[in-house]
Amino acid sequence: MGSQLSRTGGGFSWRRMIGGGLAFLAVCAPGVSQAQSSVTLYGIIDTGVEYVTNVGRQKSSVVRVPSLTGSIPSRWGIRGKEDLGGGLSAIFVLESGFAPSTGALNQGGRLFGRQAYVGLAGRWGTLSLGRQYSQIYWALPGDTMGPNVYAAGDLDPYLAQPRLDNAVAYSFTSSGLTVGATYSLGRDGVDPAEAGGCAGQSPTDWRACKSISAMVKYEAATWGIATAFDRNYGGGGVGSPLPRSSQTDTRAVIDGYVKFGTSTIGAGFLHRINHGAQTPTLFDAVSNYWWLGGTYFVLPQIALDAQFGHISVNGGSSAGASLFAARATYLLSKRTSVYVTAGRVFNQRNAAFTIDGGVIPPASSPLPGVNQSGAMVGIRHQF
């Protein structure tokens, strides 16, 4: 049995050319002649120092290293693919999120909390099982700043982390068009109830902690558009935002982008009906969230991003907010960059949204009606 080590793309790729083992398989199964597999190690380390104002009752300012995200959340992972012949492949992904500040695991301390799945891929699409993203995660091409520590997505933090345990997912892509669907038999068994966790798979309640999502996306050379539906069922018990399985939290989104030379403009709209707690003071909330942003490459190594978002909750409830964020990135190489980013959230009277997506709430939360600013200088390396 031989092996070949090569460095390709963004990571280290090991290709194992099966020798004697392949010959044995060829005797037992004549249809198998040239099976091969690849395994790639990849990752991102992204961290820095941030300054946040108006934290808590004392309206204090803090200086710290965030643990959840910088310009992109830190992670490392392994992805693999085996050619089974006839256009069919076996695939897997194991991806772990961590905090560079301490080296601790994120996602509730799970070893592979970002993704952990195995599946089959062929001309008919990809079918996979395990811990995976909801389809709404893949339906946000118009979100300019994505999981940046300060971003319009701070008005709906779920959009940066819609991961599901015990999930079955299917997707198909052809000529720029992608369709997908995901069903979770029990979406979360690790996070505490107050953080939105659920009890996982229930032997007695068929809909407790279930989740369903679907997506349609089309991307061309200079533009793209996507829409998705995402519904989480309750059943988390006392202390959970959705204590009963009859309660649901439903999102529907449409968004897209257009490219003009070295510039990209993205925008989107999301409608949410939440039968649990949308804010500390509201229940059965209906919200509308929209955003507009853009990216401009001043030079090939300098990128500027900016994004504005606004969320309104229950019409005149004064529980909405607006948020502006900006970022400048200097690419030192294809793998390493430095950046500075800043943002400010403008809370309405009954709202307490935080500008800081870099720590677990309520570590940076302001008082209701209090505005908040943040700024961060950081460095990112990809391998």
* Contacts of 362 by beta carbon, 8 Å cutoff, 6+ apart: 56, 354
Amino acid at residue number 11: G
Name which of 271, 265, 186, 278 is nearest 228 in CA terms: 271
What tens-digit pLDDT sequence spans the chain (383 residues)? 333 333 233 332 322 322 333 333 333 344 444 568 999 999 999 999 999 999 999 999 999 999 999 999 999 999 999 999 999 999 999 999 999 999 999 999 999 999 999 999 999 999 999 999 999 999 999 999 999 999 998 999 999 889 999 999 999 999 999 999 999 999 987 876 656 678 889 889 999 999 999 999 999 999 999 999 999 999 988 878 888 999 999 999 999 999 999 999 999 999 999 988 544 444 458 999 999 999 999 999 999 999 999 999 986 679 999 999 999 999 999 999 999 999 999 999 999 999 999 999 899 999 999 999 999 999 999 99
Give the span between the Cα atoms of 96 and 168, in whole angstroms: 20
pLDDT score recorded for residue 296: 98
Question: pTM higher than 0.75, yes or no?
Answer: yes
Report angle CA 365, 281, 134 to the nearest 5 degrees: 70
Amino acid at residue number 255: D
pLDDT score recorded for residue 34: 53
Cα–Cα separations (whole angstroms), residue 251 to 248, 288, 289:
10, 10, 10
Strand partners, 323: 309, 345
Architecture of domain 35-382 in CATH?
Beta Barrel (2.40)
| Helix residue spans in the chain (DSSP H) | 20-28, 135-138
Report angle CA 22, 26, 29 to the nearest 5 degrees: 125
Strands 282-299, 75-85: parallel, antiparallel or unpaired by DSSP?
unpaired
pLDDT score recorded for residue 276: 80
Domain residue ranges of the chain, discontinuous segments joined by +: 1-34, 35-382
Amino acid at residue number 22: L
Tokens of 43: 């990752």
| Secondary structure (DSSP) of 327-365 | EEEEESSSSEEEEEEEEEEEE-TT----S--SS-TTTT-
Give the span between the Cα atoms of 233 and 160, in whole angstroms: 19
